Structure 1
Amino acid sequence: MHVGRPRDGGYLSYDAHLARLPACSEEDARVHMLLVDRHSDDRQERERHCHQMLSESTSTLNHAFDLTGNLIFANRAASAYLDGAETLSVEQRRAFDGLLGSRALDIEVLIADKPTSNQGRHATAPDDRRSFLIQKFPLRDDSGKIVAVGGTSTDVSTLMAGHSDLHAAFSLANDLANRDPLTGLANRPGFLERLRDALSRLDPMGKGLALGFLDIDAFNDINDGMGHDIGDAILSAFARRLEDIMGERACLGRFDGDEFLFFIADSTPEEAERLLQRTLGDIRSPYEVAGTRVLLTCSAGLSHYPRDAERAEDLLRAAGMALYSAKSNGRDRISHFTESLRFTSERRLRVFSALRKALCEDSFRLVFQPKFDISDRSRIIGAEALLRWRDPQLGDVSPAEFVPLAEANGLYNALDLRVLKLFARQQGDWVRRGLRVPVSVNISARSLQGTELVPSVLALLDYHEIPPELLLLEITETGLMNCTGEATRNLADLADAGVRISIDDFGTGYSSLAYLQKLRPSELKIDRSFIAHLDAGDGDGDGASERIVRAMLALAESLQLSTVAEGIETEEQLAWLVENGCEFGQGFLVSPGLEIAAFEALIGA
């Protein structure tokens, strides 16, 4: 039906729907009429058509990505650059980061909950690289919830070609966005863009491309001990030294923090390793920063195209796995990627994820390895608390596997606190039952550099009414050598409170007599690597290990420190230690780590 519009003589169109009202009688039948505005539907249809035409006719690229990073919409202009595709997976989209924006840009929009923009460059042909202005913004549903990340990409190459100032400004902005401000090297996005470009230009019959991933060993200790200003100065000097050694053949970048990247096109893995060996050798030369001499070492991982991977991101991931292998095997070395590392990396990720969950759920327990009198092995004088973890899916996970992961990923404080709480709970029970069992607890030297450890230890001792002398905190000699002034003060505060300090793995570091006196330890634990060579039939005879252990025992006696020999496994080792005056020991010869009930049975509790 049509209804006249008095103001202008026009008509409005409606659909009329008639129905009898149920409450009315037959005699007084009334009808309910529902009018539906067809004009509104027509308007909405025209708007939808208009939006579609605008999207399909514009030269601007319109695109949208879901929350997991997959391309879910591309208009005709965008699809033309994607060889007709309208959707892309997260992996596929990486080849078009300079055109559609990176996943990192999407995440920035989602976190900030506001639009952002960036510049990009994309090669439409080997000799034609176009410049794009990329804008990203959140897309919301009717409730206001973000459901996708929308974007536009505008080709500004022609515009800039006629405006040298604009072109220069755009190029400068693009360069700054892809350059690390501290070192002047390419940052991660900039390096990856150059890597992709280099891979696209490689001769298929050539040597391939080598990618290196470098990490400065123990750089956190420099930042913690000398300050971030000094750390930044060292990073800048390190970058300049890399440039000087590697020359123009290598493309360099800073990945993050103390991690650096390089690639060499038309290079075999062996050629890249030789260059890297020379580089690491030169890096070991001392750095002079603000009047301080600093000696650096580096760990490095190498991957190679096409042997290890074909995509830039996969090649970088492979080099990262090789780097982790180099760090895990002693640092200051080079490791090549192998397929076995891929499994190791997947295992490490699973263990790390489970470790974070276990720290929240209290999934750990302690076993206790007895410390005994060397001259009378039946006399147990204490124990070392050893952390154990059994995961429902992974089974028993060795401390040798999860402790380095905790150290590398900033979980050492949480892990140390968990061990201390387990110790305090058990030691408190023993004290209430009248047992006095001194127990050693291993902690990370890095925990000593914070402000939380000392009050946490003292609070636990006080709450469980534990005499402080029943706790020995074990810190490795190597860890102690990297201690800052704050760590030394914390150790002094603990010693003043009556807590004893034990230096673990003694003989593997480079401690001085002055440093030992400053740290005020109560005990030296001779590392098992020396004890292992004390067997008469070992072939070492009266060799280096025996002379070193004798020197350690004499040092401990002169400083009035107790000595504990670790890893005693044979009668010959025990006899040698008795003869040379070592006081205490622990090892499988007497007992491995015992569950609480078994340990209590051993000490007659």
Structure 2
Amino acid sequence: MSLFASPLFLFSLACTGVFCLFVAQLIRSNQVIHQRNDALRLSQAQLEQSAHYDVVTGLPNRLLFQQRLETAISSGERLGVLVLDIDGFKLVNDSLGHPLGDLLLQQTTQRFVSLLTAQDTACRLGGDEFAFVLSCPQDEQVMAQVQGLLLAMQQPFDLKGTAALVTGSIGVAFYPDHGHTSDSLLRHADTAMYAAKEGGRNTYRTYHPDMTLQLQQRIFLEGALRRALQQNEFELWYQPKIDLFSGRVEGAEALLRWRDPEQGLVSPADFIPLAERTGLIIPLGEKVLDLACAQLACWRARECLPGPLAINVAALQIERSDFVESLSRALRRYDLPATLLEVEITESLLMESPQHACAILSQLQQMGVATAVDDFGTGYSSLAYLKVLPIDHLKIDRTFIKDLPGDDDGVAITQSIIDLGHALGFRITAEGIETHAQHAFLRNAGCDQGQGYLIGRPMPADSFERWLAEQPYSQQPMLL
């Protein structure tokens, strides 16, 4: 028998084959295990990345930032903690879209990182808010970096061919002066950032304990303002406007007042800026439209309309709501002609969003609503825009009126505004007339209308009606 055909040889060969197969399977199993381990490690790394780093900017997120801040605090060294908010980011995001908004955040991050040292930390807290830990023993070094961050924000951003201009507001808190924990330092830096916003933006503020008290008061006032909207605690007062040549009443301006059940009348200087910051100015503007149209309908039914009623419109009402539709709806609700209303917007709004504001004003004019630029002369209007604006009236700001006729500069500016406005076909109204000398100068200068304490203070509706009945040159009843 051949050796290769022997049972022993065949058995050995079979065992060798089984062993080789086993070894091959073992190798394949080890490869699969290694692949699974690699995938697991990659997955863990991705989870770690997503848990501690921002997806858009690649910066540490809030969680990792607080961990690093706590580590820095434990060293006992002096630290600067910053919170930065991008001024104008929402407008970029809304007008250009979220992808370009993300691109702006990424470019902003690159500028920030280039200004930081290896010992510093930057993070994206969320939205358009960033935070920094600056390891600088000297406050002057922190302030120098703060100024650098502000300057970096002021340079235009190229968003795929679109130039975007934004700025930054920064709040600064120091360890250990303003807190000993990461939470307190971040909170105080955030409070200081809001103070920078209120200070005009594109600036910074260093935390002071008074800021916390002011913030608490603002939170309380905001809650009261929301309650006031729900419980109808608002009313309109009316300040008359007259023709400066004849003395004839030619309408009134509606001014919002808040009558708190406990505090009484709350100054508009306290609640209007808060309403604008919180977005409550939009429902508040809806309330003004409703109150104004309700009062006009009442006067119309009694055949004692004083003339067109002017209402002030805030920038947010134009930018974030369908103001034209809101106004149309109010007119329909009370069955009023559009000619009974005049809309006043500030000059600064025209300069910030000229195309959008002009489009809104044009729609209002087409409806028959008169349009006016309030506080004219304070917002650096471009003459190129002025000549094409769809407006009917210019209102000269009271700052130019208060020192007339003794102030030569005020005289020159006021006369120039009147002449320029008339040349462009606008009617001119002067605000803040308080003396007979001011009245005489404006009349002789050719100003069309006036309003102010000399003529009549803002009054509740019933007081305004009594004042109107006493005027020898009141406008004849409008039967529209």
Specify the SS of the correspondent of 2:248.
strand
Change (3 A) 1:167 1:532: farther
C-alpha distance in 2 between matches for 1:215 and 1:568: 41
Change (3 A) 1:265 1:493: same
Q: 1:483 maps to what in 2?
A: 353
Q: 1:76 maps to what in 2?
A: none
C-alpha distance in 2 between matches for 1:270 and 1:310: 21
8 Å CA contact 2:279, 2:316 repeated in 1:
no
Q: Deviations over 1:551-577 (max 9, x none)?
A: 322221122111122223344433432
Quote the offset at 1:250 in angstroms: 2.9
Amino acid corresponding to residue 170 of structure 1 in structure 2: Q
Change (3 A) 1:413 1:244: same
Residues 1:573 and 2:438 are matched in the alignment = yes
Residues 1:198 and 2:72 are matched in the alignment = yes
C-alpha distance in 1 between matches for 2:376 and 2:369: 19
Q: TM-score, normalised by structure 1?
A: 0.67
Residues 1:597 and 2:471 are matched in the alignment = no
Q: 1:180 maps to what in 2?
A: 54
1:188-587 matches, within 5 Å, as 188-203=62-77, 208-375=78-245, 378-436=247-305, 437-450=307-320, 452-483=322-353, 487-536=357-406, 541-543=407-409, 545-587=410-452
**More helix per residue:** 2
C-alpha distance in 2 between matches for 1:429 and 1:559: 36
Specify the SS of the correspondent of 1:603.
helix
Change (3 A) 1:181 1:507: farther
Q: Deviations over 1:213-254 (max 9, x none)?
A: 222223333333333333332222122111112343431122
Change (3 A) 1:529 1:350: same
Change (3 A) 1:553 1:239: farther
C-alpha distance in 1 between matches for 2:263 and 2:180: 32
Change (3 A) 1:269 1:433: farther
Change (3 A) 1:330 1:365: same
C-alpha distance in 2 between matches for 1:224 and 1:534: 44
C-alpha distance in 2 between matches for 1:481 and 1:504: 13
**More strand per residue:** 1
8 Å CA contact 2:134, 2:142 repeated in 1:
yes
8 Å CA contact 2:169, 2:197 repeated in 1:
yes
C-alpha distance in 1 between matches for 2:46 and 2:427: 65
State the identity as a percent. Answer: 37
Q: Deviations over 1:374-431 (max 9, x none)?
A: 345x533221111111223454332222222222223232111011011111111011
In the alignment, structure 1 segments of 5+ residues that lack a partner are 1-162
C-alpha distance in 2 between matches for 1:560 and 1:429: 33
Corresponding residue pairs, total: 433
Change (3 A) 1:283 1:595: same
8 Å CA contact 1:225, 1:484 repeated in 2:
no
Amino acid corresponding to residue 331 of structure 1 in structure 2: R
Q: TM-score, normalised by structure 2?
A: 0.83
C-alpha distance in 1 between matches for 2:468 and 2:300: 14
In the alignment, structure 2 segments of 5+ residues that lack a partner are 1-36, 471-480
Root-mean-square deviation (CA), in Å? 2.4
Q: Deviations over 1:333-360 (max 9, x none)?
A: 2111111111110100001111112212
8 Å CA contact 2:405, 2:411 repeated in 1:
no
C-alpha distance in 1 between matches for 2:208 and 2:375: 32
Q: Deviations over 1:83-116 (max 9, x none)?
A: xxxxxxxxxxxxxxxxxxxxxxxxxxxxxxxxxx
Change (3 A) 1:314 1:574: farther
Change (3 A) 1:214 1:559: same
8 Å CA contact 2:79, 2:176 repeated in 1:
yes
Quote the offset at 1:167 in angstroms: 5.7
Change (3 A) 1:571 1:248: farther
8 Å CA contact 1:445, 1:483 repeated in 2:
no
Change (3 A) 1:191 1:528: farther
Deviation larger for 167-176 or 494-503: 167-176
1:5-20 matches, within 5 Å, as none
C-alpha distance in 2 between matches for 1:420 and 1:255: 38
Amino acid corresponding to residue 74 of structure 2 in structure 1: S
Quote the offset at 1:164 in angstroms: 8.2
Quote the offset at 1:266 in angstroms: 3.8
Amino acid corresponding to residue 568 of structure 1 in structure 2: I
Change (3 A) 1:575 1:236: farther
C-alpha distance in 2 between matches for 1:271 and 1:392: 50
Change (3 A) 1:558 1:199: same
8 Å CA contact 1:303, 1:337 repeated in 2:
yes
Q: Deviations over 1:443-471 (max 9, x none)?
A: 22332245632222112212323221121
C-alpha distance in 2 between matches for 1:197 and 1:395: 50
Change (3 A) 1:319 1:451: closer
Q: Deviations over 1:236-287 (max 9, x none)?
A: 2122111112343431122232222212124444432222113212322222
Quote the offset at 1:288 in angstroms: 2.4
Specify the SS of the correspondent of 1:303.
strand
Change (3 A) 1:477 1:209: same
Q: 1:85 maps to what in 2?
A: none
Amino acid corresponding to residue 152 of structure 2 in structure 1: D
Change (3 A) 1:450 1:168: closer
C-alpha distance in 2 between matches for 1:401 and 1:268: 38
8 Å CA contact 2:358, 2:390 repeated in 1:
no
